[in-house]
Amino acid sequence: MSVQLEHYLVLGAILFAIGFYGALSRRNAVAILMSIEIMFNAVNVTFVALSRYVTPTLLTGQVFAIFVITVAAGEAALGLAIIIGIYRSRATVHVDEMDLLKG
Amino acid sequence: MPDGLTIAFWVMAAITVIAAVGVVSVRNLFHAALFLVLSFAGVAGLFVTLEADFLAAVQVLIYAGAIAILTIFAIMLTREASQGNPANRIAGPVLLLAVLFAVGIAFILLSAQWPLSKELPLPETTTAIADALINRYVLAFEVAGVLLLVAMMGAFVMGKE
């Protein structure tokens, strides 16, 4: 049995679920950002697979994946800068200890 | 007898999923970052099996290169790798929710009818992507440039003492 579109889509769903679990269950903010990157990758796999099997000559999904990568790069740079800034002032990267706004 | 593309897909899929599980489960945060690089490389291989040559190169350069280095720098600068990668209180329910999500989405995907195209994919995609970016999607392209500029200035201001 050769590889079909459904193989890639199910793989994307599994990867997204792994990233979802990591993003909601980790305490370290850097680990949460890494899990979010896994979710971005899952979405990219889905986009490129649909582009390959549904619109092979238009490349719509591939162009969208490039924009996803652009936003992911900006998010990683800014998110890690914010984490380092918080570490500097609060000496922690655990999200449950960042409770400055808690009443 | 499976063909080469099928073998390549299963190998890359196994590498990607196992490395992703490693990212969210190993105790040492630095090892998690190395697993993340492996997972990105596996996704780049999947892009090759999908005949997306330009995206595979971009994936290696930006994800496995830039974002992984940035993540490792953040881990080093915050010196919390010694404290491990602890889970919070809701890890159990979230695991159940993630499994339910994957099973539910897979069920929907496998029961759907996809409008598959009979056309062959382009032999090389770089020219076509460049054409699409500066003709059909030129506005999104410009906005992405502004977004990157804002992100760069924001990271600069945030990272400053």
Question: How many Å apart are CA B42 and CA B22, to the nearest integer?
Answer: 13
- Residue B36 in contact with partner chain A when CB distance is under 8 A: yes
What chain A holds in terms of domains, given with CATH numbers, is: 5-91 (1.10.287.3510)
Share of chain B above pLDDT 70, in %: 96
> Which one of B16, B24, B120 has the shortest CB-CB distance to A56?
B120
**Residue A84: enclosing H or E segment and its boundaries?**
helix A60-90
Quick check: helix, strand or coil at residue B87?
strand
Cβ atoms of A48 and A41 closer than 8 Å: no
> Which one of B67, B71, B116 has the shortest CB-CB distance to A5?
B116
Give yes or no for residue B81 having a pLDDT over 60: no
- Interchain pair A18, B98: CB under 8 A: yes
> Which one of B23, B29, B109 has the shortest CB-CB distance to A13?
B109
pLDDT in tens, A7-16: 999 999 999 9
Q: Can you tell me the mean pLDDT for B127-135?
A: 91
Give yes or no for residue A56 having a pLDDT over 90: no
B9, B80, B118, B138: best mutation site toward chain A, by most A Cβ within 10 Å?
B80
Cβ atoms of B50 and B59 closer than 8 Å: no
pLDDT in tens, B14-68: 999 999 999 998 888 889 999 999 999 999 999 999 989 999 999 999 998 899 9
Give yes or no for residue B99 having a pLDDT over 90: yes
- Interchain pair B17, A14: CB under 8 A: yes
Report B:94-153 residues touching A (Cβ under 8 A).
94-95, 97-99, 101-102, 105-106, 109-110, 114-117, 119-122, 125, 128-129, 132-133, 137, 140, 144, 147-148, 150-152
Give yes or no for residue B124 having a pLDDT over 60: yes
Q: Can you tell me the mean pLDDT for A10-33?
A: 93
- Interchain pair A15, B24: CB under 8 A: no
Quick check: helix, strand or coil at residue A63?
helix
Give yes or no for residue A78 having a pLDDT over 80: yes
pLDDT of residue B80: 62
pLDDT in tens, A29-51: 899 999 999 999 999 999 999 99
Crossing angle for the helix pair B138-159 and B126-134, to the nearest 10 degrees: 90
Q: Give residue B19's identity as a one-letter amino acid code.
A: A
Burial class (CB in 10 A: 0-12, 13-18, 19+), A29: buried
What's the pTM value of the predicted model, to 2 decimals? 0.91
Position B161 confidence tier, pLDDT thresholds 50, 70, 90? low
In the CATH scheme, what is the code of domain B4-124?
Answer: 1.20.120.1200
Task: Give how far Cα A8 sits from Cα of A39, A42, A70, B5, Å.
Answer: 14, 10, 22, 13
Q: Can you tell me the mean pLDDT for A41-62?
A: 91
> Which one of B87, B98, B129 has the shortest CB-CB distance to A62?
B129
pLDDT in tens, B150-159: 999 998 898 7
Give yes or no for residue A92 having a pLDDT over 90: no
Question: How many Å apart are CA B44 and CA B34, to the nearest integer?
Answer: 16
Residue with tokens 């992100």: B151
